Amino acid sequence: MPRGPPLTDNEKGQILALHHQLLSLRDIAQTLERSVGAVQRFLKNPNRHSRRRAHVTGQKITVGQEKALIRKACSGEYSARDLKNKMDFPIAVRRVQQILSSTPHLKYKKMVNAPMMTVRHRENRLKWVRRFIGKGDIFWNKVIFSDEK
């Protein structure tokens, strides 16, 4: 539920005066036609209510930049931090994550931390495949593959 308008200086003074008269929070709220929570928050920390909320200036990237970010993310090769650094946008990593999570066709998947396959690894795999590719069904029916070490 959204909060109402901020308390005016007049209302703040009235709250303090009524509170010094030992009125309950509910009575103060009814007198000023404000919520009990607003009165309670002000009395808990009067200095906090003197500050104004930060003004949000809007998007820091354009629609085209956002589309380019999503396009780059679709490859699945980059984390949000990598995308932010690679695209060099003036937004935080958290904002990149928010943009990607609001995109309906992208699903979050944690990146696997594993070393990349080298050329030597690929060659060894091909050698292994070539060595066993000529074996028949009799051989492969006796083989069991397992994830255990």
User: Per residue in 58-69, pLDDT tens?
Assistant: 678 888 999 999
Could you tell me if residue 37 is inside a domain?
yes
Residue 143 belongs to a domain: no
- Average pLDDT for 83-100: 90
Beta carbons within 10 angstroms of residue 69's beta carbon: 23
Q: What's the number of domains the chain is made of?
A: 2
34 is a domain residue = yes
Q: What value does the mean pLDDT of the chain take? A: 86
Burial string for 96-128 (b: 16+ CB within 10 Å, else e) reads bbebbeeeeeeeeeeeeeeeeeeeeeeeeeeee
- Note whether residue 117 is domain-resident: no
Assign 6 a pLDDT band (cuts: 50, 70, 90). confident
Q: Which long-range contacts (CB under 8 A, 24 or more apart) does 72-77 make?
A: 73/100, 73/103, 73/106, 74/106, 76/109
For residue 121, is it within any domain? Answer: no
Average pLDDT over residues 87-99: 90
Residue 140 lies in a domain: no
- Judge whether 58 lies within some domain: no
Query: What residues make up the domain containing 80?
Result: 63-102
Give 55's pLDDT tier (boundaries 50, 70, 90).
Answer: low
